[in-house]
Amino acid sequence: MAPSATIPAQPKDATGCVVLADGSVIWGKGFGAVGEAVGEVCFNTAMTGYQEVMTDPSYAAQIVTFTFPHIGNVGANAEDVEGDVDAAVGCIVREDVTQPSNFRSIEEFTDWMARNGKIGLAGVDTRALTRRIRKSGAPNAVIAHSPDGNFEVAALIARAQEWSGLEGLDLAIRVTRDDQQSWEGGYWRLGHGYGRAADDATPHVVAIDFGAKDNIFRNLVKAGAKVTIVPAKTSLDAIMALKPDGVFLSNGPGDPAATGEYAVPVIQGLLDADMPIFGICLGHQMLALAAGAKTIKMHQGHRGANHPVQRVGEGWGDTSGLVEITSMNHGFAVDGDTLPETVEQTHVSLFDGSNCGIAVKGKNAFGVQYHPEASPGPQDSFYLFEKFVGGLA
């Protein structure tokens, strides 16, 4: 396929670029790891938490454009890592990364990016790129960093065009844990770090890891649960053998329909057994698939820490209509028009009306599209962990 855009001349000081599948090239200053990586370019509107974003497994195979211009100014540390797996492959920022100014910083963001194999590109008009994504959708692209400024642009364009994209791609299998694990970490407090789960905590929650953020498990512990984490392809029999009081379906990357080929039958078995279920993001989408709904690829997705979501439907009492400010990261969504009569819509996005929550009628099973564990925030939606764990006692 021939490029449909004219390649701009490379500036003399350009050491990095993002090459889109349509042949467009965006030049800038590379930082972090040296090399190239392919992924989908998205944008995130959060003002804080760039390290949590870059380590969220839900961002696997994505290149994150940060709309907030000053990224890296608080450095990096070991406590703000959300997952010890390959997550975002790179990021695009407006301003050059400056020296960190924060008492929690232990290293510069540029060094952290390099050490973790992630490529950064600075000096980009991120507002223009965000407007482009909003208009034309999230494009496939290659991000590259070469300190000597040498790039094989034609080869990068070809690689971006040849990549299949996220639709139809099961990425959960790449980021899930390999083995069963008992979660021990508690909630973080300033000056204390992370606490530890109580040895005698009850009830027992089995969490299926499709690419989970660690702060989800910490919030389950904070709500009073004992947590056992199992890999994405764990069988129904193996889950039931752990004698859970409830099952949690985690967030994760990729196309829910692809991951659902092996996960949905397990979830349907859990529903048939009347097992209490709570799903977040990808887990929410697969709960919907198991209940008979469908999912769709979104035009640009929802990513940020400032997304308004409204409670709708029956069962909320005096809080019906309340608006929560939420953290989101998803490029697929549950198609609200396909919800069967056995499923109630419980939350909707006030940005575009898309589905953000469901409950299965007659079951203790619900899910939300957004991230109530937030990290770094906001914390409007912690009640969902209390709702789930409290309903297991």
pLDDT in tens, 87-120: 999 999 999 999 999 999 999 999 999 999 999 9
Task: Check whether residue 148 and residue 201 sit in a common domain.
Answer: no
Domain end (from 131, 162, 193): 162
Residues 31, 122: contact at Cβ < 8 Å? yes
Residues 152, 159: contact at Cβ < 8 Å? no
Summarize pLDDT for 111-149 with one digit per residue, the tens. 999 999 999 999 999 999 999 999 999 999 999 999 999
Q: What rounded mean pLDDT belongs to the chain?
A: 95
- Kindly give the pairing relationship between strand 277-280 and strand 226-231: unpaired
Assign 389 to helix, strand or coil: helix
* Residue 307 vs residues 111, 310, 321, 327: alpha-carbon distances, Å: 31, 10, 15, 6
DSSP 139-171: PEEEEEE-TT----HHHHHHHHHH---STT---
Answer yes or no: is pLDDT of 345 > 80: yes
pLDDT score recorded for residue 40 = 98
Task: Check whether residue 146 and residue 219 sit in a common domain.
Answer: no
Domain end (from 162, 192, 220): 162
Task: Check whether residue 269 and residue 213 sit in a common domain.
Answer: yes
Residue 312, domain member (yes or no):
yes
CATH number at residue 320: 3.40.50.880
Q: pTM of this prediction?
A: 0.96
Residue 236, domain member (yes or no):
yes
Q: How far apart are CA 58 and CA 227, in angstroms?
A: 20
Task: Check whether residue 35 and residue 129 sit in a common domain.
Answer: yes
Q: Which domain holds residue 88?
A: 16-162
Task: Check whether residue 177 and residue 151 sit in a common domain.
Answer: no
Task: Check whether residue 183 and residue 123 sit in a common domain.
Answer: no
Q: What is the 3-state secondary structure (H, E, C) of 302-350?
A: EEEEEEEEEECCCCCHHHCCCEEEEEEEEEEEECHHHCCCCEEEEEEEC
Nearest to 134 by CA among 243, 45, 240: 45
Task: Check whether residue 193 and residue 261 sit in a common domain.
Answer: yes
Lookup result for tokens 């397990």: 266
**Terminal CA-to-CA distance of the chain, rounded, Å?**
59
Give catalytic status of residue 371 as yes or no. yes
Residue 87, domain member (yes or no):
yes
Residue 4, domain member (yes or no):
no
Residue 318, domain member (yes or no):
yes
- Tokens read off for 62: 């994505």
> For 364-379, what is the mean pLDDT?
92
Task: Check whether residue 236 and residue 306 sit in a common domain.
Answer: yes
Domain end (from 132, 162, 192): 162
> How many Cβ atoms are within 10 Å of 106's Cβ, its own excluded?
13
What's the total number of domains in the chain? 2
Task: Check whether residue 146 and residue 176 sit in a common domain.
Answer: no
Sequence-distant (6+) residues with CB within 8 A of 158 are none
Number of H helices, E strands in the chain: 10, 19
Active-site hit among 36, 52, 82, 373: 373
Task: Check whether residue 80 and residue 179 sit in a common domain.
Answer: no
Task: Check whether residue 51 and residue 130 sit in a common domain.
Answer: yes
Give catalytic status of residue 373 as yes or no. yes
Assign 136 to helix, strand or coil: helix
> For 307-326, what is the mean pLDDT?
93
Which pLDDT band, with edges at 50, 70 and 90, does 5 fall under?
low
Assign 282 to helix, strand or coil: helix
CATH number at residue 122: 3.50.30.20
Task: Check whether residue 96 and residue 153 sit in a common domain.
Answer: yes
Assign 293 to helix, strand or coil: coil
Active-site hit among 284, 307, 330, 371: 371
> How many Cβ atoms are within 10 Å of 129's Cβ, its own excluded?
21
Phi, psi of 180 (to 5 degrees): -65, 145
Nearest to 288 by CA among 314, 249, 330, 320: 249
Residue 6, domain member (yes or no):
no
**Burial, 191: exposed, middle or buried (Cβ in 10 Å; 0-12, 13-18, 19+)?**
exposed
Active-site hit among 52, 281, 307, 356: 281
Residue 363, domain member (yes or no):
yes
Residue 3, domain member (yes or no):
no
Give catalytic status of residue 281 as yes or no. yes
